[in-house]
Amino acid sequence: MAKSILIIEDDTNWQDTLGRLLKDKGYEVQLSAAYSDALGKILKTGAWFVEFDIGICIVDLRLGNVTEEPNYDGMGLLAVCRLRNIPTVVVSGYLTQSITSQVQNEFGVKAVFDKSNFADRAQYFLDVVKKELALQGKKAVKGDSRIGDVDAIKFSSKQQILIGNTIDHYKKAMSHINELQDERVRIRRRVDPNDEALWLHQIKELDEKSETFINKIKNAKTQEEIEDLHRELTEEFLKWLNGQ
């Protein structure tokens, strides 16, 4: 599957500018105008749980919403992308030297572009995107070879069912985490840094737990191992959900 580029931008003119620039080079482009929509797409991207495979995110730092003045919600999306190992590029009209340093040092942003002089740096923007997608493509080839090895083992139907159950548990747990965060934001009427840190920690913990189970299932060799994993999956995920 070819890697998509997710443009997170609430200004329709900039959506069109960036979208056309990338589409003219043959890239598949997805658009998100709001924080919640972008977050949903990012969280659904992964090696084993994919709707479309994001190769890189182009992020505007200030995204308007219905409850507050335009803010720096893009920062939160950069943090989630870093957790998911999705490379990011910032294109913003609200940059300062300190913000530029922060997004590069804290979130590992690959490049930062000011909208005021973007036209002069458009080719460099394309070069950065091309380089990062090429790196993602190399990783995908390695991943495909591992998947091929797994297919060669011809998993039993119970292994396939158990993988599906793990994904179902993941979806339910992720929904629960996001509902808790949404409730905290509604109560405070703002995004609190401590709440966001807790939320990101819970997402990371869930990702690690889910991928651990997937790997255990893929490495199982006997019926007994599958049955033990089924019990462990049910007990551990229910315990995790109730404990949150």
pLDDT in tens, 130-163: 999 888 766 555 544 444 443 334 445 677 777 7
pLDDT tier at 239, thresholds 50, 70, 90: low
pLDDT at position 16 over 70: yes
Percent of the chain clearing pLDDT 70 (strictly above):
80
| Residue-by-residue DSSP string for 43-71 | HT-SSSS-SS-EEEEEE-S----SSSSS-
Q: To 10 degrees, what angle do helices 223-243 and 157-188 make?
A: 10
Question: Taking a C-beta distance cutoff of 8 angstroms, is the pair 236, 210 a contact?
Answer: no
Question: Taking a C-beta distance cutoff of 8 angstroms, is the pair 226, 163 a contact?
Answer: no
Looking at residue 130, its pLDDT comes to 93
- Do residue 15 and residue 128 come from a single domain? yes
pLDDT at position 14 over 90: yes
- Do residue 135 and residue 236 come from a single domain? no
**112 φψ region: left (φ > 0), alpha (ψ -120 to 50), beta (else):** beta
Name the β-bridge partners of 78: none
* 152 Cβ contact list (under 8 Å, min separation 6): none
Residue range(s) defining the domain that contains residue 228: 155-243
- Do residue 175 and residue 200 come from a single domain? yes
- Do residue 119 and residue 180 come from a single domain? no
- Do residue 168 and residue 188 come from a single domain? yes
- Do residue 127 and residue 21 come from a single domain? yes
Looking at residue 9, its pLDDT comes to 95
Question: Taking a C-beta distance cutoff of 8 angstroms, is the pair 94, 61 a contact?
Answer: yes
User: Who has greater pLDDT, 22 or 53?
Assistant: 22
Token couple for 169: 């548990």
Q: Which of 91, 126, 145 is the last residue of a domain?
A: 145
pTM above 0.75, yes or no: no
pLDDT at position 191 over 90: no
Domain count along the chain: 2
Mean pLDDT of the chain: 80
| Minimum mean pLDDT range among 22-36, 64-78, 177-191 | 64-78
Question: Taking a C-beta distance cutoff of 8 angstroms, is the pair 41, 70 a contact?
Answer: no
Question: Taking a C-beta distance cutoff of 8 angstroms, is the pair 56, 133 a contact?
Answer: yes
Phi/psi for 180 (5° steps) reads: -65, -45
Q: Which of 98, 119, 145 is the last residue of a domain?
A: 145
- Distance between CA atoms of residues 142 and 137, nearest Å: 9
Give me the CATH number covering residue 24: 3.40.50.2300
pLDDT in tens, 33-78: 988 888 888 877 754 445 567 899 999 998 865 445 557 788 888 9
Domain annotation covers residue 107: yes
Helix or strand or coil: residue 31?
A: strand
Q: Which amino acid is at 181?
A: Q
CA nearest neighbour of 39 among 16, 63, 21, 18:
63
Domain annotation covers residue 150: no
User: How many distinct helices (H) and strands (E) make up the chain?
Assistant: 8, 5
